[in-house]
Each structure stands twice: as C-alpha cells, then as structure tokens.
Amino acid sequence: MEIRGERECTACGTRWSYYETGSVHCPACGNIRSVATEDERREHTDGVATLALDDAVAAAGRDDYRAAAREARGTVRDYTHERGFVRGGDLRDLDDTVLAAWELRYVAAAFARAFDHSEAEAYYFVSLLRGAPAGERPDASDVPESMRAARGNGYADAVADYRADVRRYLDTGPERSAANDLLASLDDHVRRIHALDGDVPPATADRLVAAARAIGRYARDGDAADETAAREALDELSS
C-alpha cells in the first residue's frame, strides 16, 4: 500500500518514520495522534517483524519435536505475514531470514503431524530452528530426502511473495523494459514447483532464489549484468 511514512507527534512534536518502526505510536511519548510531514505517498509492504524461536528451540532441546513444531508454526506464520520487500518506496532484497522462515513453515507442519523422525530429520529441524532468525539455513546437501518438498515449497512461496513486490515496485518506480518477461518466466517456475508439491532437488530451489534475487537487483538498479544473471538462472531452471 502507499502511505505517508514520515510522521510528527501532535503531543510532543517528535518526528519518526513509520517505515522504520512500523508503529503509529510516538516513540517518545506513546501518543497515537500524528500528522504527515511529507506530501508524497510511498509504496510500503514490509512490516517490522522479529523472528523469535526461543520457545521452539527449548522444546526441541527436550526432544519434544511436536511441541517445537507447534511453537514454530505460529511464529513463522506471523513473521512471513508481516514481512514484505518494499520499504518506503525502496525495493529490498529477498533475504535469508524470510527464506528460512518459509522453509520452516513447511518443516514444522511435517513435524507437527508425525510422531517418529530419523536422526537426520531431527538434526535438520533443529538446525533450521536455531539458524532461521539469523538467516542461516542448512546447505542443500544437508536437506534429507524426506524434507526436500518443504524447502521447495517454502522457497517457491517466498519467491512468489518477492515477485509480487517487485511488480508493485515497478508499477510506481523505474521503467525496466525486460522486467515483465523475467517476472513472467519466474512465475512459471514457481507454478511448476508448486504443481510438483515442492518435490524438486534443493539445488533447483536454490536456483529459483538466485533468479529472483537477480531480477530484484535488475529492477532496482537497471544493471545489464543482473539482467543477464537472471536470464541464465532461469535458463538453468528450464534445462
């Protein structure tokens, strides 16, 4: 949505940026009444969200993986709902924490349903729980075969969200002649992975992310090298 993000408190005169705080409350006095200090409305989709998984990590430490999964599911659902990629009119990167959170949504759902897990699956789940807040994810080679659909679906969902925000950014931002074709091709690959219920090699999911990131850089900066990188990544996905 387009909003006027620079605000001034009517009670104490403090100025702040809603784009940075995500709150209508004055950071100095807590007053909720403020006025805009700029006329321009800017596209803004990114909320200020923190991925806090301490309770889930604690449950996993007790080997109670179903409880850990239940704790994690609600947290990552709220986090991914809040997060976007346009802040105050600026297009941001598809970051690793969002990717880890989306992957964890699917992994936690799998752990919440089942009673028994292999040692490799449990290690993967705990590694993701511990690393997700810092954007740390298991390498593609460390994803168990039984969990590769979780990574595929998670990354496809994250890329779909990112693609939508790149489109919003371009609607009111710079003119990029090649961007529409790149985004359409990216959407085709997202749909294909979803049609396979995410069951693709983790390396394929990584290439999808690489393509999305290159398209985002091209949309923001207009660098021909990023356009080329995006096309090469998309071509690899098609081969």
Question: How would you label 210-230 residue by residue, b for 16+ Cβ within 10 Å and e otherwise?
Answer: bbbbbbbbbbbeeeeebbebb
The values of phi and psi at residue 178, to 5°, are: -90, -10
Structure confidence at residue 236 (pLDDT)? 94
24-51 exposure pattern, b = at least 16 Cβ within 10 A, e = fewer: eebeeeeeeebeeeeeeebbbbbeebeb
Specify the pLDDT at position 29: 77
Tokens linked to 174:
């710079």
- Residue 108 has a pLDDT of 96
pLDDT of residue 17: 72
CA torsion 113→117→122→124, rounded to 10°?
A: -80
What is residue 217's predicted lDDT score, i.e. its pLDDT?
97
Tokens 């598809």 — which residue? 94
Query: Residue 221: which H helix or E strand, with range?
Result: helix 202-221
- Which structure tokens are listed for 11? 């009670």
For 31, the enclosing helix (H) or strand (E) is: none
Write down the pLDDT at residue 80: 96
Rounded Cα distance, 51 and 74, in Å:
11
| Residue 96: per-residue pLDDT | 97
Residue 56: predicted pLDDT: 97
Q: What is the DSSP string of 126-175?
A: HHHHHHGGGT----GGGS-GGGHHHHHHHHHHHHHHHHHHHHHHHHHS--
Q: How far apart are the first and last CA of the chain?
A: 37
State the Cα–Cα distance between residues 110 and 19, nearest whole angstrom.
35
Along the chain (239 residues), what's the average pLDDT of each consecutive run of 10 residues? 70 72 74 74 82 96 95 95 92 96 96 88 96 95 95 98 96 87 97 97 96 97 96 92
Q: What is the pLDDT of residue 44?
A: 81
**Predicted pLDDT at 15:** 79
Number of H helices, E strands in the chain: 9, 7
